[in-house]
């Protein structure tokens, strides 16, 4: 196991901060997400975009089985639980296992096929292990953190829901 893989296994815990660049409909937002709760059955995030903030949570069924991305815009003061068939900025654990085992998965009603099983992905100040997949037509490209417990979307390009994302930093 390489050093990057060993380091990433311990990096997520309550209080971890994720810095994302979000590109909705060709625009740009900087978003900070803090893991308020990080457990087997719940991941809760406080988000901040400019002067706005709110909270979103995913429960066990979302984390285990969600097949759709949650791409709704943030609203100041919101405190919501995401629908159980959706995940936010990650892939469900079962979908990720399917991707690694069968080299394909369904996400957001698209078939993704693994192009690279194990790549080193560079964030701002660290390197992590990732899986790279894309759709058959190569229009949508997806880099996923190689972490069975929290397969975080590192980068998504060509999202048909017009929200591309890129993780800039984890701290």
Residue 26 has a pLDDT of: 85
In a domain, 171, yes or no: no
Note whether residue 35 is domain-resident.
Answer: yes
Q: Which residue has the tokens 């791409």?
A: 71
Evaluate whether residue 77 is within a structural domain.
yes
The count of structural domains within the chain is 1
Whether residue 128 lies inside any domain: the answer is: yes
**23 found inside a domain:** yes
Task: State the pLDDT at residue 72.
Answer: 93
Residue 7: domain span? 3-166
* pTM for this entry: 0.92
Burial annotation 110-125 (CB, 10 A radius, 16+ → b, else e): bebebeeeeeebebee
- At 9 the pLDDT is 47
User: What local confidence, expressed as pLDDT, does residue 70 receive?
Assistant: 97
Low-confidence ranges of the chain (pLDDT < 50): 1-10
Let me know if residue 65 belongs to a domain: yes
Cite the beta strand spans of 39-140 per DSSP E: 42-49, 52-59, 68-69, 79-81, 86-87, 104-107, 110-122, 127-135
d(C-alpha 69, C-alpha 152), whole Å: 12
The pLDDT score that the predictor gives to residue 124 is 83
What pLDDT is attached to residue 63? 98
3-state SS assignment for residue 124: coil
């Amino acid at each position: 196991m390489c050093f990057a893989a060993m380091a990433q296994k311990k990096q997520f815990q309550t209080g971890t901060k994720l810095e994302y660049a979000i590109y909705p409909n060709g625009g740009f937002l900087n978003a900070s997400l803090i893991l308020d709760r990080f457990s087997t059955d719940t991941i809760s995030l406080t988000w901040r975009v400019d002067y706005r903030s709110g909270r979103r949570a995913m429960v066990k069924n979302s984390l285990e089985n969600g097949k759709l991305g949650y791409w709704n815009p943030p609203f100041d003061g919101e405190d919501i639980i995401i629908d159980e068939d959706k995940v936010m900025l990650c892939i469900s654990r079962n979908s990720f296992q399917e991707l690694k085992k069968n080299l394909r998965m369904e996400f957001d009603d698209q078939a993704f096929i693994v192009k690279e099983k194990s790549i080193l992905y560079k964030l701002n100040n660290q390197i992590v292990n990732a899986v790279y997949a894309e759709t058959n037509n190569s229009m949508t490209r997806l880099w996923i953190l190689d972490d069975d417990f929290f397969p975080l979307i590192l980068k998504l390009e060509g999202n048909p829901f017009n929200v591309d994302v890129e993780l800039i930093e984890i701290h």
